[in-house]
Structure 1
């Protein structure tokens, strides 16, 4: 191994590393006290989550504002009790059971008056086998501890030919279990991979401890920032997955460089300084790239998505800070004991110089037939991306929840008895006042194909607004429902007398508008993220050609991940074994969040590989030799880092949240594709074909020394 130059003693990162190494007790204590203080404030007094995806100037947002101003009694959430009795609800034993459940629901401190289906015939089907009733909630968002007993009471009453289910958003949240062992399994999997890669329990533990402390501080900070940037409840899970993945990876690069420096004869302090000024420099660039990609989500213009972007970026920022401050302090405690508690390894026999590594042999195969390799790999990615063309966006509802949930039971009973559209009501609202005759509008909506039923219009107490509801003949997730909403807005309402002033809203319309808005703004977000990342990469690698290669190849790998996600989640291929109860559209926020994260992470791997290739090119002047050596030197670290990412993201499939499972699966597939097909096949094949054109930069007259020698050293393992 060629000796590396010591970093300049007056560099910022060098001074930071020395301070953290020498004052390690102070640094560790400051991190512990700081994390505990932030955790106490964040988890104890942090802002509540906000799951209201309505807003802006969409039709559903305008309808919601009318309802809020003139129908305050409509603001509370509701629960829906559904009953299905084989013997009919009038059977004496069934009636006693149903009335007992209704009494328990009505006696709760968070519910209002409940109308019994025995008092209102419209709540019962004609054959008297299915009934429903609505339970108003007196608290806007009651705690799960108050709603869960209601769900349990309904579930306990089921049996003996009677099925009961309790639906509604609050019921879904109350019966949804916590994330459970998912993150724990991810940490365990990462520990096994690190142990195999490093062969030492001490070296394995440092990245994990560093990442866990950073994640705890990051998530607590998210709760505090929520007062300024509200975010939905899935933000914490997403941030934990991202923080765990990048936190362990970043620490992996630094510990790897530290071990190399010790092997080169440096002392512990010099090795820590070298690790931070080389691998730490790369970590700062990598983390900044991920943050820029995440903050690109702000161009979507959705306040909750902005909240998710800021929260995830904050988590990455904290992991970066921990990697370059807390980790060198830990290294100060370990010193030469970094290799303690080693994994027994068999020593190979025979002349090592004569044996070619698997990575070297693979590089020879790819470079020997670069056009064939690039064509086959590119065609494979395009085939995987093909399902992307049929992607549909929506928000999860009760119909896509696990089938053992009470909310799913309620959904199926109500759909059977009153039609699938009962769970997807459309609310029509107008501020034209009591003098307005909504009769023609109601008649036009009722006559529209795809509308099952319409309620009579109701005037507000102040006489300044009116609303009525329509129930589609199709369900929340059916493709025909969004088509019906667009048809009503674009064709039916404008042509009906007075219909131009009527706004169409409701939970279903909110999901449709949100998905449509995301779909319309996604291209802009992609363009912004790609452009910003290109500028950053050109500044780092000093090559327009390589930056363009990276952008195109990253888009290919992300498109392939989208296609696999659609095939599994939307088409149902292997969906049930992977934890998806039924075929469902992709959650609206998943594609754009996936893109921002994956583009940033892919650029990280690109830097670790290409920077090493550039260093070897400047030594040899031969692209083929540089690609071979660069691939050999980075294969191990990229494989280990990708394996950790895949393991962490895959564990999301163990959790209960369907949308989080989607993003976890998509991220795992994308990282796997990026670290194998893209980094190990396409990048070396394309660079082999481009030759000296790889290093083209406008205005460059001669080859200049690399502007980033510190970053280039990080790729070695």
Structure 2
């Protein structure tokens, strides 16, 4: 037998809500001063980004260790100047232009000696139309602004039959513009959605101001945490996207519950306490699920991903704190004026206290009825559709972006295009071989010859022994490019077959940026199942504690996996296969960036649990009140449809704004997450959840060691005290 409880008016959350409501000026002032102080310190003295991938115990990592130890002069980055002259580089006008550019590059304070292609025949093609040269940088960590000056110099010199391009990782980073106003567009879209949902400028502004303050403080605090746990540069963008999305959504959920309380006749303070102890309680569970999911990245065993996990978790934690402290303070200022400055609209009727509609059923209720009449058909069709959407994910390839996938108006892409035409696409994907030797006259010729004879190798350089005589290195250039699958196959062939069969080849390591990217992709692929298992198990435990049902927790896990799989599939179809890729801002078809799927999974699993928490909490409340699963699902869906739709629309708007930015990797994660949220808020919540719960019936509420609950129907007055979520 189950009793029916009124909203909790005591406890820690209730006390916190009252304090923040009554001391709203103090709370708001504390937040403003705190955010300003943390922002000043964080953005002024925060840790610099760390994009280094340690490589673990891979071949590329071992090769890098040898090179760093025995070839210290090779630690600086390099740039590549690519030259294409329609009349040949020996044409007088072309030569004057080329020599002037080389002189300008040589004169820069951040470059070392530059060898002119007119002094080295190996740097020029046989027809002498295309040439290249390497520009060494004096420091490994040069300022982007300094490199940008070199890029601008080269771009300005192009013309009159001579095309010049400056490539290299430093040039790519220098050319990539900042994210720009993308997040601002997302905030504007969120404001429009909130205004449509609430029809009030005051109600619209409260979630946005809360979200912006939380994100500003969270990102600044994340940069300070970077001194302890360094994170890569894309962490800020990811944290801003996720923080802004959940920050606005959490405030939206609490605000919706507050407005319901006012409509039920509660005073503002009482409505605030109820909102925090119900919707706020769900927010804390939902946010904790997101944090746990993010911390699952630690299971990847990569320092870079650990930094992302900690950094993004800090941002989410700040949004959770803002939701249960800053929002009640704002509600104290708003009071009954929460609906001020509103559009004129027809007032909707309320449900009677006994749950019987006092007006025509809402579209969500009617839709739930349609699904519940044919639950098996609905579940099969929805599940099959999601599996079809997920199918492309089976062909997913991982890599890191290089110049070949950058926008075609950039100098780095021009350099790649010229080099590929003149020297082959593999010139931009060199393999660096490194080995320990015992003398300066060590003979690596058998190994070099074996590598040179391998199918797929275009050219091999002569080996070079370090000054201390303890290590040697040489390079090989594939016939295929950085992003091609054949290049990865070639690396495996060299490691597994060619080197072991050459005298002394067992001690030779294949490294370089190309091999490092391949190793990172494979390491990620091998560890991804472990991370997925950790995230699912921890999230299931948390959800079972909240909803007190093993069945519903398992349903949530399976449905979340389906929505994430569908997002992966759409991402592969658009980015890797090129379907609508150019329309969505992707310059060309490309593999999925290595860190994107492992970053997407915990984020999306956590966000999907957000909607699950708010929907299932309401369904369970209705079930405990009536003991009727069908009615509970119908009413729960009806009561949460509007707020979940608005929350999902805000998330989608914010994530899709990533497509407006310049970074192809951030575009990928924005697209994938927008698709997943869309699928979750439509196919999952509107079809699969009501269909599967209808099929499970009483089994929905199964918990080991406990009978299915039976509700005792009370009087209408008693039922009217029941809360909403």
Q: Please indicate, yes or no, whether the TM-score normalized by the shorter chain is above 0.5.
A: yes
Secondary structure of 2:474 counterpart = strand
Q: Are 1:68 and 2:73 counterparts?
A: no
Give the structure-1-normalised TM-score.
0.97
Cα separation, 2, equivalents of 1:134 and 1:715: 67
Tell me how far apart the structure 2 counterparts of residues 517 and 400 of structure 1 sit (CA, whole Å): 23
User: 2: distance between equivalents of 1:402 and 1:451?
Assistant: 28
Match of 2:26 in 1: 26
- The structure 1 residue matched to 2:671, chosen from 662, 665, 668, is 665
Whether contact under 8 Å (2:231, 2:305) holds in the other structure is yes
The aligned residue for residue 325 of structure 1 is 325
Aligned pairs for 1:256-405 (under 5 A) are: 256-346=256-346, 353-405=358-410
SS in 2 for 1:413: helix
Q: Corresponding residue for 1:450?
A: 456
* In 2: Cα distance, 1:610 partner to 1:346 partner: 30
Gaps of 5+ in 2: 352-356, 713-720
Give, in whole Å, the separation in 2 of the partners of 1:54 and 1:667.
28
- 1:126 aligns with 126
1:133-172 aligned at under 5 Å gives the runs 133-172=133-172
Q: What's the counterpart of residue 411 of structure 2?
A: 406
Q: CA deviation at 1:432?
A: 2.0
Q: CA deviation at 1:354?
A: 4.5
Choose from 585, 589, 592 the match for 2:595: 589
TM superposition shift of 1:55: 2.8
* Per-residue Cα deviation, 1:584-622 (whole angstroms, up to 9, x for no partner): 000011111111011111111111111211111122212
RMSD: 1.8
**Which aligned runs of 4 or more in structure 1 are off by greater than 6 angstroms?**
348-352, 712-715
Normalized against structure 2, the TM-score is what? 0.96
Deviation at 1:561, TM superposition (A): 0.7
**Aligned match of 1:548 in 549, 554, 562?**
554
Greater shift in the superposed pair: 18-27 or 118-127: 18-27
Report if the CA contact (8 A) 2:648-2:678 is conserved.
Answer: yes
Match of 1:355, SS? coil
Q: What are the residue-to-residue correspondences of 1:425-574 with 2, within 5 Å?
A: 425-434=430-439, 435-574=441-580
Query: In the superposition, relative to structure 1, how do residues 701 and 365 fare at CA in structure 2: closer, same or farther (>3 Å)?
Result: closer
Q: Quick one: distance in 1 between partners of 2:308 and 2:359?
A: 52
Cα 1:358/1:533, change in 2 over 3 Å: same
Question: Relative to structure 1, is the Cα distance of residues 505 and 705 closer, same or farther in structure 2, using a 3 angstrom cutoff?
Answer: farther
Whole-angstrom CA distance in 1 between matches of 2:722 and 2:415: 59
| Structure 2 CA distance for partners of 1:604 and 1:350, relative to 1, 3 Å | closer
Partners in 2 of 1:715 and 1:65 — Cα distance? 60
1:687 to 686, 693, 717: 693
After TM superposition, the structure 1 = structure 2 runs for residues 15-54 of structure 1, keeping only pairs within 5 Å, are 15-54=15-54
Q: Give the Cα separation in 2 of the matches to 1:520 and 1:240.
A: 29
Report how far residue 54 of structure 1 moved: 3.4
1:438 Cα offset (Å): 0.9
8 Å contact 2:618–2:640 — kept in the other structure?
A: yes
Equivalent residue for 1:423? 428
Q: How many residues get paired?
A: 708
- Structure 1 residue 715: Cα displacement: 6.2
2:645 corresponds, among 610, 632, 639, to: 639
Greater CA drift, 224-233 or 591-600 = 224-233
Query: Which residue pairs with 1:8 in the alignment?
Result: 9
Identify unmatched segments of 5+ residues in structure 1.
Answer: 707-711
Displacement of 1:271 in angstroms is 1.7
Which segment is superposed worse, 531-540 or 656-665?
531-540
Aligned mate of 1:611, from 611, 614, 617 = 617
Residue deviations 1:90-112, cap 9 Å, x none? 11111111111111111111111
Does the CA-based 8 Å contact 1:54-1:60 persist in structure 2? no
